């Protein structure tokens, strides 16, 4: 499995866990650009996916569409 696929799977798993976790974690589902706080796992995963995709020459507007919509 490629590193991009692995990162995507981690992000999907995190989203599912956040949705099931109630108020303690569902803020991550609504705030993709959250930079401060006790837990920035989603942002970190998105940044890692973006770095991987950039190595394949994907543009930033396309990345925003793929990662944040």
pTM given for the model: 0.67
pLDDT digits (tens, 9 = 90+) for 6-33: 999 999 998 888 888 887 777 777 765 5
* pLDDT of 45 above 80: yes
* pLDDT of 44 above 70: yes
Structure tokens at 4: 């991009």
Reading phi first (left if > 0) and then psi (alpha if -120 to 50, else beta), residue 22 is in: left
Tokens 């992000």 belong to residue: 11
Short-list 3, 9, 15, CA closest to 42: 15
Tokens 């396309």 belong to residue: 62
* pLDDT of 58 above 70: no
Domain ranges of the chain: 3-32+40-68
Residue 49's pLDDT is: 87
Structure tokens at 12: 């999907």
CB 53 within 8 A of CB 8: no
């Amino acid at each position: 499995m490629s590193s991009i696929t692995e990162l995507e799977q981690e992000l999907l798993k995190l989203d599912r866990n956040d949705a099931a976790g109630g108020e303690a974690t569902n803020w991550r589902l609504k705030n993709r650009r959250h930079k401060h706080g006790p837990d920035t796992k989603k942002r970190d995963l998105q940044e890692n996916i973006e770095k991987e995709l950039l190595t394949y020459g994907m543009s930033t507007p396309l990345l925003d569409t793929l990662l944040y919509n």
